[in-house]
Amino acid sequence: MALTDPATEASRTATRPEKGRSLWTDARRRFLRNRAATAALAVLVLIAIFAFGGGFVAQYERDYVDFTLIGINASKGVPSFETGHYFGTDAEGRDLFARTVQGTRLSLLIGIVGSLVAVVVGTLYGAISGYLGGRVDSVMMRIVDILMSIPFMFVLILLLVIFGRSLLMLFIGIGLISWLGMARIARGQTLTIKNKEFVEAAIATGVRPLTIILRHIVPNLLGIVVVYATLLIPEMIIYESFISFLGLGVQEPNTSLGSLISSGASQVLNGGGEPWQLYFPLFFFVATLFAFFFVGDGLRDALDPKDR
Amino acid sequence: MLTFILRRLLVAIPTILILIVISFVLMFAAPGGPFNAERPLPPDVMANIEARYGLDQPYAVQIFNYVKNIVLHFDFGPSFKYRDQTVSGLIAQGFPVTLTYGTWAFAVAVVFGVALGVVAAVRQNTWVDYLATGSAIGASVLPNFVLGPLLVLVFTLWLGWLPAGGWYGGQWQYVILPVAALATSYLAAIARIMRSSMLEVMNSGFIRTARAKGLPMRRIILRHALKPAILPVLSYLGPAFVAMITGSVVVDVFFSTGGIGQYFVNAALNRDYSVIMGVTILVGVLTIVFNLLVDILYAWIDPKIRY
């Protein structure tokens, strides 16, 4: 259409209801304009596809030992499409592709579980503490202070040693630590929100405190909670890989990026000629962390009301 | 000031007790005792062993004795796995090593981190600034257990400059790589914090006044800007200390320095509860004491704080 009738154009814009721009549409626009963050998000999607779909591509099970390669691992275990070992094999002759897929998946799961716990427990804890204020607040926050000053990695390892090194225990341990920082942040934000008019109005109309927290406070915390939860994921991934690096994490046949990096590193440092055993897990580890940091950063720029 | 310190101590002591109780409760909750072997021991032998380690007493008595021995004799009890070793003995062997490179790493991270942050802020948007901010991002995706292998790969295997591990009484060649592996990411974090707080201070009124008076830049930075700008770094030191002491476990294991972390991991692999507990409690106490010191330092430097 070359020409538009100015009259109909005007009436169209007039009748179309003005669409409000919510916080979230605004934030999405700002996020998409941030090129580093969108690229990181794309990388993250690829990594997730790799972690959750890679199992269909892998030619071997993660704990299948390829006996044909024994003794000639360094020359025949190299990454290649012909043998079906896309990432080569590890020192025991197991398919590194399948193992990296599984390790990456475990890392992502740990990160997501940890930050979910933080979102649910930490947000509620912080919101309740901040909203109630006074003595309850200071007791609740003192508890967080005390828990935070305990070197949790040691307690977590103690936990794993005593109750066995299972995936469930790892999730529980990570969940125990992750919510503390979130609680502090949510509380701080709640303190500023609770003096706003809409909360006063809710109090005046007789809404119960718990409902106020859930309906009026928590939704307004979401922006900062999302940002912090995203930045928490790489932290949780590092925790888990740290434990696995020491050999105290999940047990075989399960594996994790931390233990893959550990065995790859010892392979390389003992003069082994199989450096891919370090490079592939290391690449996925670093790429995952990088992507999460940039996405978190982009989200902060998009959602943080201070930087408008 | 004295009441402030006393009040902080009042918080610190229950924290330590909570830590001890948590570790103890975990240990009691453990499925199977520490001496359950694959072939069960005869009951009278078992009773003897339990009496030797005081495990036949009520839990409350055990906790009380444990705390009493730590406080009075710095005695964390015997190791459950190595009959001739006490936990305190293991700590005495490993702790000096960890302390040596830990102190170095901490000093390097703080001194160079602060310096890098100041330079980056003063020369904003130059290559120093980009280096500082860029390395801060890089360091946050390279935790010490990744950095350690990479350092050894470069400096030992490729360049052949430094040994890959060992301690040998702490000769300087053996100290450098552990210190670098431990310090780098905190150096970067401190530089980033210092940079942003320094930028804020340099744009404030009293710095403008100092510049208007015609003071030389060096004097402005050292005398006027540094003190207020360093406060956020101070409050980061507590978490950094915890992270470093945790990271030292990786350094000990990876570089075989013979520090406390190596005993800790071995104990964890052998289910040697008393060693794990002893180390955990020691680390907890160190952390709490360190946090206390940081708080006192903070209150001393920041005139705005009320105590």
Q: Are residues B300 and B220 in the same domain?
A: no
Q: Are residues B229 and B139 in the same domain?
A: yes
**What per-residue confidence (pLDDT) applies to A1?**
43
A279 interfaces chain B, CB cutoff of 8 Å: no
CATH code, B244: 1.10.3720.10
**What per-residue confidence (pLDDT) applies to B107?**
92
* Domain span holding position B5: 1-31+272-306
| Residue A305 clears pLDDT 60, i.e. is over it | no
Chain A contacts of B264, Cβ < 8 Å? 154, 157
Question: In this prediction, does ipTM exceed 0.85?
Answer: no
A163·B277 Cβ contact <8 A: no
Choosing among B246, B250, B252, B266, which should be mutated to test the A contact, i.e. which has the most A CBs within 10 A? B246
Closest Cα in chain B to A258:
B145
| Residue A307 clears pLDDT 50, i.e. is over it | no
Q: What percent of chain A has pLDDT over 90?
A: 5
Q: Are residues B196 and B127 in the same domain?
A: yes
Residue B301 lies in a domain: yes
pLDDT grade for A308, boundaries at 50, 70 and 90? very low
**What per-residue confidence (pLDDT) applies to B50?**
72
Q: Are residues B165 and B193 in the same domain?
A: yes
pLDDT tens for each residue of A27-40? 888 888 878 888 88
Closest Cα in chain A to B277:
A158
User: Least CB-CB distance to B23: which of A153, A158, A262?
Assistant: A158
A242·B250 Cβ contact <8 A: yes
Rounded to a whole number of angstroms, the distance from the CA of B48 to the nearest CA of chain A is 23
User: Least CB-CB distance to A149: which of B152, B253, B288?
Assistant: B288
* Between residues B71 and A199, the one the model is more confident about: A199
Determine which of A90-99, A215-224, B179-188, B280-289 has the lowest per-residue pLDDT on average.
A90-99
Q: Which domains does chain A show, CATH number per domain?
A: 46-307 (1.10.3720.10)
B154 interfaces chain A, CB cutoff of 8 Å: no
Q: Are residues B214 and B278 in the same domain?
A: no
Q: Are residues B105 and B26 in the same domain?
A: no
The continuous run of DSSP H or E covering A46 comes out as helix A35-57
**What per-residue confidence (pLDDT) applies to B30?**
66
Question: Would you tell me which residues 211-250 of chain B have a C-beta closer than 8 angstroms to some C-beta of chain A?
Answer: 238, 242, 245-246, 249-250
Average pLDDT over residues A248-256: 80
User: Least CB-CB distance to B287: which of A151, A241, A289?
Assistant: A151
**What per-residue confidence (pLDDT) applies to A76?**
67
Residue B83 lies in a domain: no
Could you give the number of structural domains in chain B? 2
User: Least CB-CB distance to B276: which of A158, A163, A246?
Assistant: A158
Q: Are residues B130 and B225 in the same domain?
A: yes
DSSP assignment of chain B equals -HHHHHHHHHHHHHHHHHHHHHHHHHHHHSSS-TT--SSPPPHHHHHHHHHHTTTTS-HHHHHHHHHHHHHHH----B-SS-TT-BHHHHHHHHHHHHHHHHHHHHHHHHHHHHHHHHHHHHTTTSHHHHHHHHHHHHHHHS-HHHHHHHHHIIIIIIS--S-SS--GGG-HHHHHHHHHHHHHHHHHHHHHHHHHHHHHHHTSHHHHHHHHTT--HHHIIIIIIHHHHTHHHHHHHHHHHHHHHHHHHHHHHHHT---HHHHHHHHHHHT-HHHHHHHHHHHHHHHHHHHHHHHHHHHHH-TT---
**What per-residue confidence (pLDDT) applies to A280?**
85
Q: Are residues B189 and B133 in the same domain?
A: yes
* Between residues A94 and A12, the one the model is more confident about: A94
Chain A contacts of B283, Cβ < 8 Å? 151, 154
Closest Cα in chain A to B250:
A246
Q: How many residues does chain A have?
A: 308
| Residue A143 clears pLDDT 80, i.e. is over it | yes
Residue B44 lies in a domain: no
User: Least CB-CB distance to A151: which of B27, B269, B283?
Assistant: B283
Rounded to a whole number of angstroms, the distance from the CA of A267 to the nearest CA of chain B is 11
> How many Å apart are CA B274 and CA B79, to the nearest integer?
6
Residue B110 lies in a domain: yes
Ordered per-residue pLDDT tens for chain B, 307 residues: 778 788 878 877 887 888 788 777 777 776 655 566 566 677 777 777 777 777 777 777 777 777 777 777 777 777 777 767 788 888 888 888 888 888 899 999 999 999 988 888 888 778 888 887 787 777 777 888 888 888 888 887 778 777 777 777 667 777 888 888 888 888 888 888 888 888 888 888 888 888 888 888 888 888 888 888 888 888 888 878 888 888 888 888 888 888 888 888 888 887 777 888 888 888 888 888 888 888 888 888 777 766 5
Residue B36 lies in a domain: no
| Residue A99 clears pLDDT 80, i.e. is over it | yes
Considering A57-61, A101-105, A276-280, B128-132, the range whose residues carry the highest mean pLDDT is A101-105
Average pLDDT over residues A186-208: 88
Residue B285 lies in a domain: yes
Q: Are residues B148 and B247 in the same domain?
A: yes
Q: Are residues B234 and B301 in the same domain?
A: no
A265·B149 Cβ contact <8 A: yes
Rounded to a whole number of angstroms, the distance from the CA of B223 to the nearest CA of chain A is 31
Residue B290 lies in a domain: yes
User: Least CB-CB distance to B280: which of A155, A262, A290?
Assistant: A155
Token pair, residue B295, equals 């708080």
Q: Are residues B248 and B283 in the same domain?
A: no
Rounded to a whole number of angstroms, the distance from the CA of A150 to the nearest CA of chain B is 6
> How many Å apart are CA B245 and CA B251, to the nearest integer?
10
Residue B74 lies in a domain: no
Q: Are residues B251 and B277 in the same domain?
A: no
